[in-house]
Chain A
């Protein structure tokens, strides 16, 4: 039986602010569904709090407190309430912020019969997408070039390493060669984040990024 929660070093990186946006999205979505990982992150954040107490304080600007006090009555920049979801899926709010109120409105692409994916925009070099696999269908056997995080949102899948259902997170890298198959009668909906096989930055690179075939 493999671990279905995020590994400690990932949760620590999330708690300390060292994880990139896409992996943070996976962890935040996973935390909504996993009380155990939430408790772990709370511990790591408490360590951050303890370290803040221990740190040698820095001198503030002379008018620091005054300028903050003068700004306390400023209005909070109005945050637009997100549109309520309308697709019938109970997805964590962190993920909703990226995929919108209706996941059917995303651009779904058929990979093979019974397997669809929809990529959505996220900051940084990693790539994020939703994937759905009809029950009984297996995705082609594959391995990974970089880290891949797969979080089950609905349904379940099984591979050589075990059984994954709602909230379970599989953390894969180049050492894992697997063939996940949806199981249990329900279509399996997953969030998949992959570290891009190559990293392009700059204007041109960002334009090219979507053209790079996902491996």
Chain B
């Protein structure tokens, strides 16, 4: 069976339950959906809550749910919570890696590696620093650089004694960063297609801006100015959404 993403949450839950050894016996009893609901309650996931951004698929967990799941993985090594995260992210990471040129087999392997990193590093997730999707994106991005480009990925370390901290007023605005993802997603939809295209190319094609220019047949200056426009527009749109 090929597991397609975009499952309804209850299907995902049933799959998750089926592999969660601690709840295996329970899951074999009839009425799996109810058990799914009960387990969701155990994981304190409110699946009836929806994103403020209403055009998201109804069958997706909301951003806060993802954070709850990740916290359960971190604090309780909860395999069911992990399985739900897997259902949500793994098909997306695989698509991301394939967009970046990985073959299906290596994209699958890297996706699995990345999800194992999610399990291992769950404790280092900090909701004040990033949303879950952003955090998972970083893991996949770094995995890809390690594995496919065979390069190291120098990263700054938030625990570094040499770290110059944010000014207190900046730190206050950073609290909102975890919530920025949903706003960004909504803002992305407001971009004119020509700007959205250069943004996607910049993230999904492993291309320097020069190569984006080559690929699109646009002058480098145009690529850069479209990216700049896109960023400015995203920022403005996020501000509007935040002010609403």
Contact = CB atoms under 8 A, between A and B. Distances in A.
B95 A66 contact: no
Given A51-B204, A65-B15, A69-B79, A9 B209 contact: yes
Contact of B200 (A20, A38, A51, A98): A51
B184 A29 contact: no
Interface string A1-28: 0000000110011001110110011011
A115 interface: no
Nearest to A44: B231
A60 B90 contact: yes
Contacts, number: 223
A175 to B, nearest CB: 14
Interface stretch (B29-37, B41-49, B165-173): B165-173
Interface residues of A, number: 62
A72 interface: yes
Chain A facing B: main interface SS: helix
Contacts of B130: 42, 45-46, 49
Contact of A28 (B155, B167, B184, B203): B155
B211 to A, nearest CB: 9
B188 interface: yes
Interface string B186-197: 001000000000
A94 B157 contact: yes
A60 B94 contact: yes
Given A12-B227, A64-B112, A28 B156 contact: yes
Q: Give the one of B3, B107, B142, B207 with max A CB within 10 A.
A: B3
B28 interface: no
A58 B91 contact: yes
Q: Give the one of B89, B94, B107, B135 with max A CB within 10 A.
A: B94
Chain B facing A: main interface SS: helix
Contacts of A35: 164-167, 170
Contacts of B96: 51-52, 55
Interface in B44-97: 79, 82-83, 86-87, 89-96
Interface in B127-148: 129-138, 140-142, 144-145
A29 to B, nearest CB: 7
A13 B208 contact: yes
B125 interface: no
B5 to A, nearest CB: 3
B174 interface: yes
Given A62-B2, A94-B157, A45 B94 contact: no
Interface residues of B, number: 86
A89 to B, nearest CB: 9
A32 interface: yes
A32 B157 contact: yes
A44 to B, nearest CB: 8
Contact of A62 (B1, B140, B207): B1
Contacts of B145: 17
Nearest to A32: B156
B228 interface: yes
B161 to A, nearest CB: 7
A47 B234 contact: yes
11 contacts: A17-B206, A21-B152, A42-B174, A45-B134, A49-B181, A50-B133, A50-B184, A57-B91, A59-B91, A65-B86, A97-B152
Interface of B: 1-6, 15, 19, 79, 82-83, 86-87, 89-96, 98-99, 104, 107-108, 111-112, 115-116, 119-120, 129-138, 140-142, 144-145, 150-157, 160-167, 170, 174, 177, 180-181, 184-185, 188, 199-200, 202-204, 206-209, 224, 227-228, 231, 234-235
